[in-house]
């Protein structure tokens, strides 16, 4: 007997940030705490082919039981993964997750197919509760990421839709790198964060979202960006950097609101259609 549970949650944050949080095992531990406690859970981003053996405890109170997860697919370019889990009375727990860009940010769509024999329906109810309860703590983590920026949008007058589409609320600078330029990129990004107080993302060692190469993101307010840009131009060396404005339109941000320092690359824009 199998039951499939479908869930969808909207987030007012960029697909890149939502994907980063959704695939981070450290965040998984934080957002399920109290409902599901883990032992031996590794750190970092999940990756294709990863096999994880953990101990889990319902509510952190019931006895710990062995549980295994295998990441069958994990593609940062399309921002989707598929994992298979088993243990703790569950024959198979099949989990597919995608992050989809929306007009106001992004959406997580999840599909969980459960086989736990006669107890399948109990686990299906449990899955709904568990994945719904993840939403609020996940929002908190994302707000924490966004709040490291001093910009406060709530105090501004409401705008019409047309104005919103053209309003630039800060910039991203995505520093691209490969194996040979990874150290230079890391150094440049760390210096930029120290000098200008911009928000430093992680080093994505694989393509993510529309970015066809490994990259690291600098997230800036408009004010920070005006100071950062001349410094980036003078200090980027041979690194390619995609600079783009942040409006409510992700496609526009990666086309007409974007420009390159150094060699340009083709972006995966089909993601935004
Ligand atoms: Zn960006």
Centre of ligand 1 to C-alpha 266, Å, is 14
Centre of ligand 1 to C-alpha 169, Å, is 12
Q: 156: Cβ–Cβ under 8 A, 6 or more apart, which residues?
A: none
pLDDT at 18: 92
Angle between helices 222-235 and 182-196 (to 10 degrees): 140
Centre of ligand 1 to C-alpha 42, Å, is 28
Centre of ligand 1 to C-alpha 172, Å, is 5
Q: Are 220 and 199 in contact (CB under 8 A)?
A: yes
pLDDT at 162: 52
Centre of ligand 1 to C-alpha 12, Å, is 15
pLDDT at 240: 96
Mean pLDDT for all residues in the chain: 87
Centre of ligand 1 to C-alpha 173, Å, is 7
Q: How far apart are the first and last CA of the chain?
A: 37
Which residues of the chain are modeled with pLDDT < 50?
A: 149-159
Question: CA–CA separation, 214 vs 178, rounded Å?
Answer: 6
pLDDT at 199: 92
pLDDT at 202: 87
Per residue in 19-55, pLDDT (tens digit) is 989 998 888 888 887 788 888 888 888 999 999 999 9
pLDDT at 36: 85
pLDDT at 143: 83
Q: Are 27 and 102 in contact (CB under 8 A)?
A: no
pLDDT at 150: 44
pLDDT at 147: 66
Task: Pick the closest to residue 239 from 215, 211, 207 (CA basis).
Answer: 215
- pTM summary value: 0.59
């Amino acid at each position: 007997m199998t039951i499939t549970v479908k869930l969808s949650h909207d987030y007012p944050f960029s697909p890149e940030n939502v994907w980063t949080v959704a695939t981070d095992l450290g965040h998984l531990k934080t957002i399920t705490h109290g409902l599901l406690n883990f032992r031996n859970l590794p750190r970092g981003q999940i990756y294709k082919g990863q096999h994880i053996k953990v101990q889990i405890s319902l509510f952190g109170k019931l006895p710990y039981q062995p549980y295994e997860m295998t990441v069958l697919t994990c593609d940062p370019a399309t921002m989707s993964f598929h994992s298979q889990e088993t243990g703790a009375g569950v024959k198979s727990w099949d989990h597919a997750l995608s992050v989809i860009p929306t007009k106001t940010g992004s959406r997580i769509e999840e599909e969980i197919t459960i086989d736990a024999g006669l107890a399948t329906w109990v686990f299906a109810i449990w899955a709904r509760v568990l994945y719904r309860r993840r939403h609020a703590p996940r929002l908190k983590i994302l707000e924490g990421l966004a709040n490291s920026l001093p910009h406060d949008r709530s105090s501004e007058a409401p705008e019409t839709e047309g104005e919103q589409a053209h309003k630039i609320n800060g910039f991203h600078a995505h520093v691209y790198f490969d194996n040979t330029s990874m150290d230079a990129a890391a150094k440049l990004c760390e210096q930029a964060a120290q000098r200008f107080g911009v928000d430093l993302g992680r080093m994505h060692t694989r393509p993510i979202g529309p970015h066809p190469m490994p990259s690291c993101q600098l997230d800036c307010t408009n004010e920070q960006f005006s100071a950062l840009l001349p410094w980036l131009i003078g200090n980027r060396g041979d690194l390619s950097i995609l600079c783009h404005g942040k409006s409510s339109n992700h496609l526009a941000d990666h086309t007409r609101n974007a420009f390159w320092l150094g060699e340009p690359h083709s972006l995966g824009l089909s993601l935004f259609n």
